[in-house]
Amino acid sequence: MSGCGCDVIFDGTSEAYKRVLWIVIAINAVMFVVELSAGLASDSMALRADALDFLADSVTYAISLYVIGRPAHWRSMAALFKGVSLAAMGVWVLAMTIYRVIYLGNPDETIMGSIGALAFVANAVSALLLLRFRDGDANVRSVWLCSRNDAIGNLAVILAAGGVFLSGTAWPDLFVAFLMASLFLHSATRIVQQALGEIKVNKLAKETP
């Protein structure tokens, strides 16, 4: 971790980090069920996108937990998988949002706002728990980036709910879905770049006598 006075990058091998990761996995799994149900009930693309993000986080955080303590190559490959998965999710959200542009229907702003606020609290708690571990390797850093971005996305969902209420149209919801997809793709790029860099370093280290 940063501030340790050394050049070793934190790789997640601490009981404190593992406990925090278990808590964050549980939070994300519960919120996936809550937001998916709310997204279907309210017909909100932003909520559905955020629900999918909770599911993806639950799975990828479990992978992060599994590779802790394993060889550096494993951890870098896990981060690479998470980055590619996040990119795929961003593309899916974009595709679904374009579909909704063609077939518009106004979402329920009350459900959007209330569930968005609940999701923000869940992700803010997760981000705060992970804050001191944010400067680790690609595997550890990807967890922090996802939680931070999720909290930002939740604020956007809350704003979209207000926009739907004021405008009487679905466009604020669709705009936020586009915004979240862009955020997914941006974070995916950063995670993949760091993971590929670590894979290259690991490969060179093996080849060096």
Q: Which of 178, 175, 29 is nearest to 90 (CA)?
A: 178
So what's the pLDDT on residue 25? 93
CA separation, residue 41 to residues 36, 186, 209 (Å):
9, 29, 60
The class that CATH gives domain 15-207 is: mainly alpha
C-alpha to C-alpha distance for 51 and 53, rounded to whole angstroms: 5
Burial class (CB in 10 A: 0-12, 13-18, 19+), 168: exposed
Q: Which of 27, 172, 26, 31 is nearest to 115 (CA)?
A: 31
What length is written for the chain? 209
Angle subtended at Cα 76 by Cα 75 and Cα 79, rounded to the nearest 5 degrees? 90
C-alpha to C-alpha distance for 172 and 179, rounded to whole angstroms: 10
Question: Beta-carbon neighbour count of residue 173 at 10 Å?
Answer: 31
Q: Which of 124, 143, 19, 12 is nearest to 68 (CA)?
A: 12
AA letter at 93: V
* 0.75 surpassed by pTM: no
Taking only the tens of pLDDT, the chain with its 209 residues reads: 333 333 456 766 778 888 988 999 999 999 999 988 888 888 777 777 778 778 878 887 888 788 777 777 787 887 788 788 878 878 877 777 776 666 656 677 788 788 888 989 998 999 888 888 877 777 777 777 778 877 887 888 788 888 888 888 778 878 877 887 887 788 788 878 878 887 888 777 776 65
Burial class (CB in 10 A: 0-12, 13-18, 19+), 166: exposed
